[in-house]
Amino acid sequence: MSPRHIPHAGLVEVGGLRLPFLAEGEPRRLDGSTVVFPAGQVSLLHPFGDTDFYRHGWNSWGPSGWRRLSGPPLRIEGSPERLLTADDARNDTPAAHSGSAVGALASPDRQTTLLLGALGLGAPRVGATTTCLWGTQEVPAGEWLLAVGEESAVFGTYAAAVAERLGHGRNRAGRVWSSWYSQYEDIDEPGLRGLVADLRGYPFDVIQVDDGWERLVGDWQANAKFPSGMAGLGRTITDAGFRAGLWLAPFIALPGADVVRDHPDWWVRDDDGSPLVAGYNWGSPYYCLDTTRPAVRDHLARVFTEAMGWGFTYFKLDFVYAAALAGVRSADVHREQAYRDAVAWIRQVVGDDVYLLGSGVPMLPSAGIFDGVRTGPDVMAFWDNAERPHDPSGVGAKNAMRASLHRRWLRPLYETDPDAVYFRRRRSLLDDTQRQAVQDVATILGFKATSDPIAWLDPSEREELRAWLTADETITQTGRYAYVLDGRPVDLSWVADDAYAPSPSTNAG
Residues, the chain, total? 509
Element (H, E) at 347: helix 335-350
**Closest distance between ligand 9PG and the C-beta of residue 238, in Å?**
21
> How far apart are alpha carbons 164 and 365 in whole angstroms?
13
Nearest residue (beta carbon) to ligand 9PG = 211
**Closest distance between ligand 9PG and the C-beta of residue 106, in Å?**
28
> How far apart are alpha carbons 468 and 202 in whole angstroms?
11
Q: Which is nearer to ligand 9PG, 155 or 339 (CB)?
A: 339
β-strands 34-37, 28-31: how paired?
Answer: antiparallel
Contact yes or no for 441/405 (Cβ under 8 A):
yes
Other CB atoms within 10 A of residue 89 CB: 18
**Closest distance between ligand 9PG and the C-beta of residue 180, in Å?**
5
By CB under 6 A, name the binding residues for ligand 9PG: 61, 85-86, 180, 210-211, 247, 281, 318, 359, 378, 393
> How far apart are alpha carbons 84 and 97 in whole angstroms?
18
> How far apart are alpha carbons 61 and 395 in whole angstroms?
9
**Closest distance between ligand 9PG and the C-beta of residue 325, in Å?**
14
**Closest distance between ligand 9PG and the C-beta of residue 376, in Å?**
9
Is residue 417 packed enough to be buried (19+ CB in 10 Å), middle (13-18) or exposed (0-12)? buried
Other CB atoms within 10 A of residue 324 CB: 29
Q: Which is nearer to ligand 9PG, 116 or 217 (CB)?
A: 217
DSSP symbols for 235-267? HHHHHTT-EEEEEE-TTEE-TTSHHHHH-TTSB
Q: Which is nearer to ligand 9PG, 180 or 468 (CB)?
A: 180
Q: Which is nearer to ligand 9PG, 139 or 361 (CB)?
A: 361
Q: Which residues contact 352 (CB under 8 A, 6 or more apart)?
A: 170, 171
**Closest distance between ligand 9PG and the C-beta of residue 322, in Å?**
11
Other CB atoms within 10 A of residue 487 CB: 8
Contact yes or no for 61/413 (Cβ under 8 A):
no
Other CB atoms within 10 A of residue 322 CB: 29
> How far apart are alpha carbons 170 and 488 in whole angstroms?
30
**Closest distance between ligand 9PG and the C-beta of residue 211, in Å?**
3
Element (H, E) at 191: helix 189-199
Q: Which is nearer to ligand 9PG, 106 or 195 (CB)?
A: 195
Contact yes or no for 54/47 (Cβ under 8 A):
no
**Closest distance between ligand 9PG and the C-beta of residue 113, in Å?**
29
β-strands 243-248, 312-318: how paired?
Answer: parallel
**Closest distance between ligand 9PG and the C-beta of residue 274, in Å?**
21
Q: Which is nearer to ligand 9PG, 136 or 359 (CB)?
A: 359
**Closest distance between ligand 9PG and the C-beta of residue 360, in Å?**
6
